[in-house]
Amino acid sequence: MDFQLDKIHYARFDYLNYCRHVLMDIINYTENHDVTMTTIPFKNDNDKMTFEKLCEAENEKGTQWLLDNGYECTIYNSAYKRLFFSLLVDFVNFYGASIEQAFSGNIVVAWSLLRRPLQETLAYIEWIYFDNHELIKRMLNEESVDTYDLKAKKNRELRKNIIDEIYKNVKTDDFNVYDFRYSKTDEYSLDGILNGSTHLVTDRNKHFITARSSLNFVLDDEAGRKKCINMYFTAVPFVMYYAMHTIMKLFGEIADFKPYTLIMNEYNHRLKRLKAMQTMSLEEGVAVAEIELPIYCPKCGNKMESLDDWQAYAYKSIQCKQCKNEIDTFGYIFDFEEIEFTHEQ
């Protein structure tokens, strides 16, 4: 039987799909603009020649030479950038597949695909955001992976502290991101749902015991399936709002964009999320999103700040009424990098 997603979930699916577009835009921009490239500030020509000769023989020897000869910061700076974007590719591969499966009604597969991106990949992105130097130091200098394995018991407190610190700066509703992703006792935690979607029988936790004469998600009726879909489109947008805040902040710092580009993408993200929640009017949403700057057309400089302008911005694109230039807002917006501001503006 063909599945049709309930229309009440369309707005939230659009938000989740917007997040995927942003992630893909960031990855494509990184690949096309050498964002991860780091220039080594050699102290002298002799150091440069020594390094180049070592790299010709074996690249790993060149890296070790830099670490041993006072270029540690350069190595760390390069490594964390490459690690961040590699993690981003990993994240979007699983996340993108998950939302497609959810839209198609394959909700068990959709949940299962979220284990790696939300419980593991995102955790390392958070660590990079919180203290990239410490993570890279552990990865390069320690003999055991246990020192940077965030699943290891000794690192779980670190993982929680990182999330708590990042979450302080996220403007969102009261939603415990850590408990949802990792709690083994909360009835509707991601950990419990994932165990149910991965295993046919679960009996270790009282909240996640397989029903008598049943198998997890296999013998569920339509009501059970609908409940699981509702849970997906309720919880995942909350986690993704937090995740995107972290990812976009990191990307903005690495790419070194203009402040106006960063804030306009932040406005866009807030508005997209508020539109998905469908709990307030556009006017209220603009106020809640704390929008203080107008939209400037990158081509002609025309100022746009009416509610109609923000409504177009919050959907998929906005067209300048003066020069007809169209700005696509269903993804990361790079257009504003073209603007050169004067003191008068």
Q: What is the pLDDT of residues 10-28, one digit of tens each?
A: 999 999 999 999 999 999 9
The whole-number pLDDT of residue 187 equals 67
Domain that holds residue 337: 258-345
Q: Average pLDDT for residues 299-322, to the nearest whole number?
A: 94
Whether pLDDT at 278 is above 70: yes
Q: Average pLDDT for residues 201-226, to the nearest whole number?
A: 60
Cβ atoms of 118 and 181 closer than 8 Å = yes
How do residues 84-140 score in pLDDT, each as one tens digit?
999 999 999 999 999 999 999 999 899 999 999 999 999 999 999 999 999 998 988
42 in a domain, yes or no?
Answer: no
209 in a domain, yes or no?
Answer: yes
Residues 24 and 140 in one domain: yes
Cβ atoms of 116 and 77 closer than 8 Å = no
Place of tokens 């991106």: 117
Structural domain ending residue among the three candidates 256, 285, 310: 256
Whether pLDDT at 34 is above 70: yes
The whole-number pLDDT of residue 173 equals 63
How do residues 37-64 score in pLDDT, each as one tens digit?
888 888 999 999 998 888 887 777 888 8
Residues 183 and 287 in one domain: no
Whether pLDDT at 344 is above 50: no
Residues 79 and 118 in one domain: yes
24 in a domain, yes or no?
Answer: yes
Dihedral, CA of residue 99, residue 103, residue 106 and residue 112, to nearest 10: 20
Residues 193 and 304 in one domain: no
Residue 111 corresponds to which tokens in the numbers above? 């949940």
Residues 285 and 307 in one domain: yes
SS3 of the chain: CCCCCCHHHHHHHHHHHHHHHHHHHHHHHHHHHCCCCCCCCCCCHHHHHHHHHHHHHCHHHHHHHHHHCCCHHHHHHHHHHHHHHHHHHHHHHHHHHHHHHHHCCCHHHHHHCCHHHHHHHHHHHHHHHHHHHHHHHHHHHCCCHHHCCCCCHHHHHHHHHHHHHHHCCCCCCCCCHHHHHHCCCCCCCHHHHHHHHHCCCCCCCHHHCCCCCCCCCCCCCHHHHHHHHHHHHHHHHHHHHHHHHHHHHHHHHHHCCCHHHHHHHHHHHHHHHHHHHCCCCHHHHHHHCCCCCCEECCCCCCEECCHHHHHHHHCCEEECCCCCCEEECCCCCCHHHHCCCCCCC
Whether pLDDT at 213 is above 60: no
Largest CA distance in the chain: 75
Residues 179 and 308 in one domain: no
Whether pLDDT at 206 is above 60: no
Cβ atoms of 147 and 138 closer than 8 Å = yes
Residue 79 corresponds to which tokens in the numbers above? 């490594």
94 in a domain, yes or no?
Answer: yes
Cβ atoms of 312 and 319 closer than 8 Å = yes
Residues 224 and 343 in one domain: no
Structural domain ending residue among the three candidates 227, 256, 285: 256
Q: Average pLDDT for residues 205-228, to the nearest whole number?
A: 63
30 in a domain, yes or no?
Answer: yes
Whether pLDDT at 243 is above 90: yes
* Contacts of 261 by beta carbon, 8 Å cutoff, 6+ apart: 252, 333, 334, 336, 337
The whole-number pLDDT of residue 214 equals 55
Across 153-165, b (16+ Cβ under 10 Å) vs e yields eebeebbeebbee
Residues 110 and 20 in one domain: yes
Average pLDDT, the chain: 87
Please state the pTM of the whole predicted model: 0.88
Q: Kindly indicate the confidence band of residue 340, based on its pLDDT and cuts at 50, 70 and 90.
A: confident
Residues 229 and 88 in one domain: yes
* Contacts of 126 by beta carbon, 8 Å cutoff, 6+ apart: 159, 162, 163, 166, 246
Residues 131 and 276 in one domain: no
Residues 229 and 334 in one domain: no
Q: Average pLDDT for residues 290-306, to the nearest whole number?
A: 93
Span of 11-15, 61-65, 243-247, 267-271 with lowest mean pLDDT? 61-65
Q: What angle do CA 168, 172, 175 make, to 5 degrees?
A: 80
Q: Average pLDDT for residues 303-317, to the nearest whole number?
A: 94
Structural domain ending residue among the three candidates 238, 256, 274: 256
Cβ atoms of 249 and 261 closer than 8 Å = no
Count: domains in the chain: 2
Residues 345 and 272 in one domain: yes
The whole-number pLDDT of residue 196 equals 57
For the chain, give the percent of residues with pLDDT over 70: 89
* Contacts of 310 by beta carbon, 8 Å cutoff, 6+ apart: 271, 282, 286, 291, 295
The whole-number pLDDT of residue 221 equals 62
How do residues 170-197 score in pLDDT, each as one tens digit?
766 667 888 888 887 776 778 777 765 5
How do residues 75-97 score in pLDDT, each as one tens digit?
888 899 999 999 999 999 999 99
For the chain, give the percent of residues with pLDDT over 90: 54
Pairwise pLDDT comparison (318 vs 212), residue with the higher score: 318
